[in-house]
Amino acid sequence: MNRIDGRKENELRPVTMTANFVDFAEGSVLIQCGKTKVLCCASVEEGAPRHVPEGTGWVTAEYSMLPRANRERSRRDVSKLKLSPRSAEIQRLIGRSLRAAVDLSALGDRTITIDCDVLQGDGGTRTASVTGGFAALALACKKLAAEGRLEKNPIRGHVAAISAGIVEDAPLLDLCYEEDSRAMVDLNCVMDEAGRLIEIQGTGEGRSFTAEEQRKLVELCAGGIRELIEKQKEILGG
């Protein structure tokens, strides 16, 4: 099928990552995937949650969309006095994905919080948050190690995420909003740099899908994630 923006079925939207986008966070990255823009900031605090073993660190995440990130204004979660179920689910995904990249025992008794604020959403905000969030986390850990606050960098390896879906029976990588809204099947995939799966979220929104179709979507995601990790390495210095 002909895609809205003329891309091939296995082609990412244009991706840019800008490191140290804000001055005060220990690590920050503005990630842009097509029209989707997410600001990811990593903040370091001494001390870890009570449920974490003594001497072990923790990585967590928060996710939010600005009121005019979408085509119509949405209310801020704070104005509703509770986190929306969607935001809660997405920030748990981000936290799980990023903890897979870190040796928490090497982090020591401290917490790193990754704030992912969607400035503009055109599909793929959760996967962009994972990809940009990892880069912000890696920058923060690099800074801690350079300052002598860590004996070694706790980052085990790169982590990135991307979406794929089936639109008009065609498997496509990195859906924009218009494609996502028409997708019969939608899948989000998180992988490490060795190509191992960390998490898959797949939904048959318009119809069920076969194991072979899932395999094809995962293969599309794997190719996209390899490209995203190369983008991460460019701004992180290898």
Q: Render pLDDT for 141-172 as a digit per residue (tens, 0 to 9).
A: 999 999 999 999 999 999 999 999 999 999 99
Q: What is the mean pLDDT of the chain?
A: 94
Domain range annotation of the chain: 15-236
CA distance linking residue 235 with residue 161, whole number of Å: 17
- Amino acid identity of 203? T
Give the pair of three-digit tokens for residue 48. Answer: 């870890």
Return the axis-axis angle of helices 125-146 and 85-99, rounded to nearest 10°: 40
Query: How much is the pTM?
Result: 0.94
Q: Render pLDDT for 11-52 as a digit per residue (tens, 0 to 9).
A: 999 999 999 999 999 999 999 999 999 999 999 999 999 999
Q: What separation in angstroms does the CA of 46 have from each of 50, 139, 181, 183?
A: 13, 17, 42, 44
Structurally, at CATH architecture level, domain 15-236 sits in 2-Layer Sandwich (3.30)
CA distance linking residue 111 with residue 28, whole number of Å: 16
Share of the chain above pLDDT 90, in %: 85
Spatial contact of 161 and 226, defined as CB atoms under 8 Å apart: no
Spatial contact of 153 and 142, defined as CB atoms under 8 Å apart: yes
Spatial contact of 191 and 134, defined as CB atoms under 8 Å apart: no
Spatial contact of 203 and 185, defined as CB atoms under 8 Å apart: yes
- Amino acid identity of 231? K
Q: Render pLDDT for 64-103 as a digit per residue (tens, 0 to 9).
A: 988 778 777 877 776 565 778 888 999 999 999 999 999 9
10 Å Cβ neighbour count for 180? Answer: 18
Q: Render pLDDT for 179-196 as a digit per residue (tens, 0 to 9).
A: 999 999 999 999 999 999
Give the pair of three-digit tokens for residue 101. Answer: 């990249």
Spatial contact of 136 and 113, defined as CB atoms under 8 Å apart: no
51-71 burial, b at 16+ Cβ within 10 Å, e below that, comes to eeeeeebbbbbbbbbbeebee
Spatial contact of 176 and 35, defined as CB atoms under 8 Å apart: yes
10 Å Cβ neighbour count for 195? Answer: 11
Which residue, among 105, 131, 147, has the nearest Cα to 198 in the 3D structure? 131
Spatial contact of 40 and 136, defined as CB atoms under 8 Å apart: yes
CA distance linking residue 115 with residue 137, whole number of Å: 10
- Amino acid identity of 221? C
